[in-house]
């Protein structure tokens, strides 16, 4: 008579990783101001993307019969000196501001992060040379550096956006991100797992991109979010000076320039509403960046 062996298996429940939705809810509850900034930025981005559907008028259509019309039911934010609807121009200008700000900050932050990691990993002469170049760029005011780049490169329209203007906004961001990322990468370079990867014979590229870069995502995301606001402000400044987006394209900085200054007494809405749009966009991304820093940095939580 054979007795069959009875086996039992006990499953130990594993701790499930928080999902993306749960992380978002945790961020919203612990950082309400950051969540408000994120919602505001998303609303502005969606408004810009859907501008052709929700804008009441063509943003470049001229109507001499509606010149300098005050805010009304027909034109909620009034019109400018060419009779163009300001609300429609602000909605279309959100597309320009968000796209150029996001792309410029993404390019500048990514290049700066790569330069910072490379500088920290190799050290020695490489680090010395890179940091001296970074010091030269940091010694120049951001707006001056952007003006120099715009003057040197000129204009280059790609898909309706000035790619050279994007580069002009990106370049001042690179050295600032490189300096911050380098300081974090210096400590990561001394970690045991980096030494183990080096002893195992992994290539420099793999060590940098597979072992060091993922651990630098927190400062990278914080810098990226913060510099979106700075890129939006810099694009508006260049457009205001006549070196950014040109007429008749709708852009917030361009709406503040030219005739808006001449008619500020007769039609103050030409300045007030574009200025509020710029302030709201910059404020929302700054709130988001500060909240991300507090949420991702364990040291900041203990303060």
Q: What is the CATH number of the domain that holds 237?
A: 1.10.3720.10
Alpha-carbon span 274 to 230, nearest angstrom: 17
Residue 211, in any domain of the structure = yes
Nearest residue to 236 via CA among 188, 181, 278, 271: 278
Residue 71, in any domain of the structure = no
Place of tokens 């609807």: 85
pLDDT of residue 14: 45
Specify the DSSP element, H or E, that contains 226. helix 217-240
pLDDT of residue 20: 65
Phi, psi values for residue 158, rounded to 5°: -130, 115
Residue 26, in any domain of the structure = no
Alpha-carbon span 255 to 272, nearest angstrom: 10
Is pTM, for the whole model, over 0.75? yes
Domain range for 234: 31-58+79-302
Q: Are 188 and 216 in contact (CB under 8 A)?
A: yes
Number of domains observed in the structure of the chain:
1
Residue 14, in any domain of the structure = no
pLDDT of residue 158: 59
pLDDT of residue 298: 56
**Two structure tokens written together for 257:** 């320039």
pLDDT of residue 9: 41
Mean pLDDT by 10 residues, the chain (303 residues): 43 51 81 90 93 92 88 92 92 90 93 92 91 90 84 68 84 92 87 84 83 84 90 89 81 82 83 92 91 72 50
pLDDT of residue 160: 59
What 3-state DSSP class applies to 245? coil
Residue 173, in any domain of the structure = yes
């Amino acid at each position: 008579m054979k007795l069959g062996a009875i086996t039992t298996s006990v499953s130990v429940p594993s701790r499930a990783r928080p999902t993306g939705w749960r992380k978002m809810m945790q961020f919203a509850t612990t950082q309400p101001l950051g969540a408000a900034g994120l919602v505001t930025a998303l609303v502005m981005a969606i408004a810009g993307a859907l501008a052709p559907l929700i804008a009441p008028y063509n943003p470049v259509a001229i109507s001499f019969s509606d010149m300098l019309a005050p805010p009304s039911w027909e034109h909620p934010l009034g019109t400018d000196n060419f009779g163009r609807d300001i609300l429609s121009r602000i909605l279309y200008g959100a597309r320009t501001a968000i796209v150029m700000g996001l792309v410029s900050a993404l390019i500048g932050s990514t290049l700066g992060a790569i330069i910072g990691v490379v500088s920290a990993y190799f050290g020695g002469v490489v680090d010395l040379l890179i940091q001296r170049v970074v010091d030269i760029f940091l010694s120049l005011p951001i707006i001056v550096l952007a003006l120099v780049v715009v003057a040197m490169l000129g204009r280059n329209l790609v898909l309706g956006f000035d790619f050279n203007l994007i580069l002009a906004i990106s370049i001042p961001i690179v050295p600032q991100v490189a300096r911050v990322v380098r300081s974090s990468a210096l400590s990561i370079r001394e970690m045991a797992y980096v030494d183990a990867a080096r002893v195992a014979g992994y290539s420099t590229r793999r060590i940098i991109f597979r072992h060091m870069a993922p651990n630098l995502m927190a400062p990278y995301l914080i810098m990226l979010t913060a510099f979106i606001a700075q890129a939006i402000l810099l694009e508006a400044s260049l457009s205001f000076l006549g070196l950014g987006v040109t007429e008749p394209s709708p852009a917030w900085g361009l709406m503040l320039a030219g005739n808006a200054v001449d008619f500020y007494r007769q039609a103050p809405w030409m300045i007030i509403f574009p200025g509020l749009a710029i302030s709201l966009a910059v404020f929302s991304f700054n709130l988001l960046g500060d909240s991300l820093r507090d949420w991702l940095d364990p040291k900041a939580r203990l303060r």
